[in-house]
Chains A and B, each alone.
Chain A
Amino acid sequence: MTSLLSVSNLRVGFGHDPAKNEIVKGVSFDLAAGETMAIVGESGSGKSVTALSINRLVDFGGGKIIGGSIKLTRVDGSVLDITEAKEPVLEKIRGSEIGMIFQEPMTSLNPVLSIGTQIEESFRLHRGLTGRQATAAAKDALDRVRIPDATRRLNYAPNQLSGGMLQRVMIATALACNPRLLIADEPTTALDVTVQAQIMALLGELKRETGMAMIFITHDIGLVAGIADQIMVMQAGQAVEQGALSEVLDRPQHPYTQHLLSAVPHFESGRAARADFSRKEKETPALDVDGLVVRFKVKGSMFSRAQGSVHAVENVGFDLMPGETLAIVGESGSGKSTTARAILGLVKPTRGRFATHKGSITDATDPATQMVFQNPYASLNPRLRIDSILAEPVIAAGGRVTNETREKMKALLKRVGLPEDSLERYPHQFSGGQRQRLCIARALMLNPSVVVLDEAVSALDVSVQAKVLELLVDLQKEYGLAYLFVSHDMAVVERIAHRIAVLYAGQIVEIGNAASVLSNPQHSYTKRLISAVPSIDRRNQHFEIDTRQVPSLVRPPGFEPPEAQWREFGPDHRARAEA
């Protein structure tokens, strides 16, 4: 097989003195035409920089290729070393021979230009098409990526489409001129798991249709199983292991690959669910939520009456025992975060009653319930030192900061695995994982009985995620904490949840013991959700593409949903009856 692309001993550095600041330290690999290479690694491993070096976009990001060669076999058979090519030559290659798609679809399209114009641009540049021809070609490109009603969508502005839709447009743009190589830099990380499944399916299908080679960059090794022929695992700028897919997945040689495969949470359809808790009958729940409804009025314009309201959360109810973890699972727009925020008083519920075993909480200042947020970089005030951050809950509850409180802070920091001297430092001096531990410490300052975790680990690197989950489990056992764990990541939920509630369009569609819900899902949405979760043992699986959108939650004023009927499946597992 003639190799389409052969990279040998690639070295890339950044800043004024690239040699001293090397990010990619000697990477080599070959890629045959039509073959798919997956590059797996965590942030800072240099996987994105390697990708960006192949079409020399790294030069615009302040980086510089300081060693090695990248040989590309072009359509006419000639071989070009990209590291030496001049800009005009590169401009010819980019788009026509090497296409690229990126991680953040929402910001990767020019906000002021319509979708159609941005796709036509590739045709105009490389195929010389203009006017109606270009528009027709753009429409075909959109059809190819299965975007319904393409002609109308051409004049849409990017902000009028969802993340999944936009990523499809990105793929249409990148593949407009049928490049022989597509570089996909974490294309689905920012998307929901069901949408991710459809994008992966689309990529798989396009690969088969066009026979293009692909370099797929990701941090989620599970995702790779379904699409890659070869794998290269990168750590700190070096390829620690590379080879055929099954070779590497089944017989990992390098300890880091082994760590990625074992320690990092992988979805095992319920087999890895926790079994260390059993509900005692008459115990009063740590948190009892009943009939929670949250609706946002949609303000019509000045003159027309209110057009109705968004029914974000519809009649959600559950209870949570001390020491127990209830996971609330759902995709974006399902209302899971709104539920969490309503319980904490950050959002005013339209109706609903919550009670903890210390009596009903009316407003947010109940020290018994605390919250840990998703983005570690945004949930700590950058201008305050750690000691004043940790002291805030105490001051808020009316207490005074005594040395006894300082002792408690030191103990908690040690308990969450942070050095004692961090009290005098500022948030920007900590990594993402360390910051999340600080948030946890802050939540524990007032010895709460319930901790609500809103996507608490989804912003962290895979291996850091694992350690934080372990910490949470230990703390739960030690302090008998009740967790309300909100997440969209099924692998993580499987590791931590005792019971699971699946949320769809603001309603609980299935709730029950984790093992039974995961291993034998009843509601159609839960089934679809679980099947979309990538896992290592499902190799080269064929996904069917369905382009249904999340249903709109806007209801006319005065609308009340029908009463829910439940069907029981075992002692602690029931699902909503479907029409």
Chain B
Amino acid sequence: MGRHFSTKLLSGLALATALTAAAIASPASAANLKMAWKQDATGLDPHKQPAFSSIRLLELIYEPLVRFDKSLTIVPAVAASWEFAPDAKQLTFKLNPAAKFQDGKPVTAADVKASFERVLDEKTAAVARANFLSIASIETPDDKTVVFKLSQPDVPLLAAMASINAAIVPAAEITAGTIGTKALGSGPFKLDKWEPNSKETLSANKDWAGGKVNIDGIDISVLPDETAILAALRTKQIDFALINDPLVATLVPKETSLILNRAPVLAYHVLQLNASRKPMDNLAVRQAISCAVDRQDVLDTASVGEGKVTGPLTMPGYTSDASTLFCYKKDLAKAKKLMADAGFANGFSATVIAANGEPATAAAEAQVLQSQLAEIGVKLNIKMMELNVYVDTWLKGDFDMAVALNGGRADPYPMYNRYWTKTGNLQKVAGYIDDTLDSLMQKGRVETDVAKRKVIFSDLEKHLVEVSPWVWLYTSYSYTAQQKTVSGFEPTPEGSLFGLTKVKLN
């Protein structure tokens, strides 16, 4: 009995290892880039999907009129050229004649008009609608020109048009209502197959107007566990991968066969204080908290130093030197004095909410902040929440404090108009508003001169940090990892994967 039993077990194991090795060797399609990410897209309708994981996929399939390049300057996409009228109340676009949809039909002005009308129509519930309210009417003098008539000058409009949420879709598809199910865009790649939360197969769009793509296609697999992604990279099962968690990303450089691309992003880690709730309604308390937080220490512990401390403005051209901002160097004495002045000498207790795993460093940040604020008597109770429960609570502003990672924009106005303007939709979440903020925002919106806009918005930043409704912490990086055999990928501050169009497999 004994002998028979052990030999059966050993032979079973030997078979297992042999099969595993054999299965790895079989190559996927030759010149396809094998890629993996943790968070899969949640939908295919470019006008409705704000989720970062969806935008990365849709940027490869659809194209907006214009887009940002590496240094966030606006470059042509579907539109070859554009210009504001002198009074900035009219914006004319000339379409690239070679631009064609993936079914071969050329992109016409009518498609552009239909797309923007779809975005503006409330029934579509398009995400970026708020940024285009200044469009009064859209005229198409000929097939290749589109004229936007504006109700008031709106400089950030052009930046807003550079988002995939304003992608150009075929008018015929709109009428047929198949935008959400069939992915037909004018972008560099065609979506051949999509199994949500499992895998996507993309093939290169031969007659893409934007130039030649060096790879035949992309096989994307969804690996929910980032250690698995690292393991897949190590065993050459994938050529390219997106990584969220800095703890995993920092392991990539240790592998000789892998390269880690690190690109600073506009999204900012922040500790939001709810100024509409006692005792955070007291300015001194908010300032005390801001002074008690050691931002560099939070960055070093939660994200192992991967990132840099930042003020409210994170986009190139507007960022300022963080050390000049109010209380950006930890000053415990000042913090304690402020607390005493506010009558909270022995502190108070509050709850901070954070979403589970979104961002990956949320729990760590909460725990570091908890121990830092304990030094001025603020006893924090951490409440980790499942993502959607967090979003629901966050939108209702139903929290004392919240650890968050909020998206950034290339232009300060669309980034903060929802929080720091009197008519902002997310006023409840910001929990604070005053006239200086509102007037600075309006001035910034209409000001067309870039230098003057920089001055306006840096005043806004100084004021925000002083009034400290939120404690801005740091910006981190978006990571992509690739085998040494992959070259030519350029990351962008918006974390877009558009750089894959330039990638070569050698």
A–B proximity contact (CB within 8 A): no
Q: Which residues in A have some Cβ–Cβ distance to B below 8 Å?
A: none
Q: Which residues in B have some Cβ–Cβ distance to A below 8 Å?
A: none
